[in-house]
Amino acid sequence: MVGTMNYISLKTKLSSRRHFIKRMVTTALVASFPKMAHSNSLSVEVAVGPRILGRNDAPVQVAEYYSMTCGHCAEFHNNIFPTIKSKLINTGIVRYEMRPFPLDGLALRAHALVRSVPEKKYFPLVKILFAQHPVWVRAEDPLSALMKIARLAGVSADEFNAIMRNRDLLEAIVAMRQKGVDDWQIASTPSFVINNNEVLSGNMSYEDFAERLSAFGA
């Protein structure tokens, strides 16, 4: 009986610790955003919906967890992803989904931006932000640099500021990040969930990536 009670107590403590850590992550990422009114034109449900390239019935399903400020993610998308897109996605072999896993407050803001534009502009804007990664990530004023790039996607200054203040959206993105931790123990970026079966992590060459996918039919 004592052993059972100790187990229950330990389980309760671990559960409480997980909830505490989750609250701390959410607080740390969203803390810099004051509670202010935001535009009601953006549906958070639509903003956090799946962002997918490729056929839904593709034999290999890939979900990438990435952070907009991650240098390894930028290198992967600038140098490796174009080949993956042409050889695996466009040919119907891979269905590719991108999921946010912001590693810091700036990444969270960038994820909020790309999630707020029309879906057809999502991947082009992600591509632009990764292509110009050092320009805005290392800028003296990263938010101003980010806003300048946002203008290329047709996002006005007022719209940009509304996105930055949209706590519902920011917290929804943090929740997506946490789901990656809970479901797949994602701890670094880029990480890839393959067919809801295996997790690959790290910035791999195309050859290494394709070889790992070959076990799933790629």
pLDDT at 118: 93
Check pLDDT > 50 for residue 23.
no
Position 125: which residue type?
L
Check pLDDT > 90 for residue 61.
yes
Does 95 lie in the same domain as 202?
yes
Does 131 lie in the same domain as 77?
yes
Domain presence at residue 22: yes
Does 105 lie in the same domain as 82?
yes
pLDDT at 141: 97
Identify the residue with better confidence: 22 or 51: 51
Domain presence at residue 94: yes
Identify the residue with better confidence: 24 or 142: 142
Domain presence at residue 173: yes
Domain presence at residue 117: yes
Does 174 lie in the same domain as 208?
yes
The β-bridge relationship of strands 60-66 and 94-100 is parallel
Domain presence at residue 36: no
- What letters, b where the CB count within 10 A reaches 16 and e where it falls short, cover 52-85? bbbeeebebbbbbbbbbbbeebbebbeebbeebb
Does 187 lie in the same domain as 116?
yes
pLDDT at 217: 75
User: Tens digits of per-residue pLDDT, 194-204?
Assistant: 999 999 999 99
Task: Give the C-alpha separation, 20 to 36, whole Å.
Answer: 25
Check pLDDT > 80 for residue 8.
no
Cβ-based neighbours of 136, under 8 Å, separated by 6 or more: 110, 129, 142, 145, 146, 148, 149
Q: CA 111 → CA 118, 124, 129, 184, 206, distances in Å?
A: 13, 13, 10, 20, 25
Does 17 lie in the same domain as 56?
no
Does 209 lie in the same domain as 134?
yes
pLDDT at 152: 85
> What does the mean pLDDT of the chain come to?
86
Does 72 lie in the same domain as 17?
no
pLDDT at 22: 45
**CATH number, domain at 83?**
3.40.30.10
- Which of the residue ranges 27-36, 67-76, 147-156, 179-188 would you say has the lowest mean pLDDT? 27-36
- Which of the residue ranges 31-45, 71-85, 172-186, 189-203 would you say has the lowest mean pLDDT? 31-45
- Which of the residue ranges 32-36, 152-156, 206-210 would you say has the lowest mean pLDDT? 32-36
Task: Give the C-alpha separation, 64 to 73, whole Å.
Answer: 10
Domain presence at residue 55: yes
Does 111 lie in the same domain as 5?
no
pLDDT at 156: 95
Q: CA 80 → CA 35, 73, 77, 175, distances in Å?
A: 39, 10, 6, 28
Position 118: which residue type?
P
Q: What is the pTM of this model?
A: 0.82
Does 73 lie in the same domain as 14?
no
What is the pLDDT averaged over residues 151-167? 94
- Percent above pLDDT 90 for the chain: 78
Peptide bond into 190 cis (omega under 30): yes
Question: Where in the sequence is the domain holding 140, given as residue range(s)?
Answer: 41-214
What's the number of domains the chain is made of?
2
Q: Give me the residues paired with residue 61 across strands.
A: 95
Q: Are the CB atoms for 129 and 77 separated by under 8 Å?
A: no
Q: Are the CB atoms for 113 and 69 separated by under 8 Å?
A: no
Does 45 lie in the same domain as 27?
no
Domain presence at residue 174: yes
pLDDT at 41: 60
Domain presence at residue 201: yes
User: Tens digits of per-residue pLDDT, 62-112?
Assistant: 999 999 999 999 999 999 999 999 999 999 999 999 999 999 999 999 999
3-state secondary structure of 184: helix
Does 78 lie in the same domain as 12?
no
